[in-house]
Amino acid sequence: MRTTLTLDDDVANLVRKQSRRSGASFKQVVNHFLRVGVMVGNNQPTKRFVVTPRNMGLPHGLSYDNVAQLLDVLEGPTHK
């Protein structure tokens, strides 16, 4: 099929660079990336990633009230 397609300058430059890099023609590069784009666009949405929080707790005797002390105990005095 023959059609006219207007490419943005940046897209045309990327296609030319890929054409030189791969040795394929401009037409072959455009067709390849159109196929890839259409196939990716047809994929079903992926399952949403859900993070399940867990209470990790603190070692006995420590609290979040004094963060400097907490860092000293957990990471050592050279944590800075």
pLDDT in tens, 10-65: 999 999 999 999 999 999 999 999 999 888 867 666 788 899 998 887 777 778 88
Residue type, 16: R
pLDDT at residue number 60 = 78
- Average pLDDT, integer, range 54-80: 80
Distance in Å from the first CA to the final CA of the chain: 65
Two tokens, residue 70: 């907490």
80 vs 42: CA distance, rounded Å: 49
> What residue numbers bound the domain in which 24 lies?
1-80
Contact 32, 24 (CB under 8 A): yes
Query: pTM score, two decimals?
Result: 0.51
Which residues lie below 8 Å from residue 26, measured CB to CB, with a gap of 6+? 15, 16, 19
- Number of domains making up the chain: 1
pLDDT tier, 80 (very low <50, low <70, confident <90, very high otherwise): low
pLDDT at residue number 66 = 84
pLDDT at residue number 7 = 94
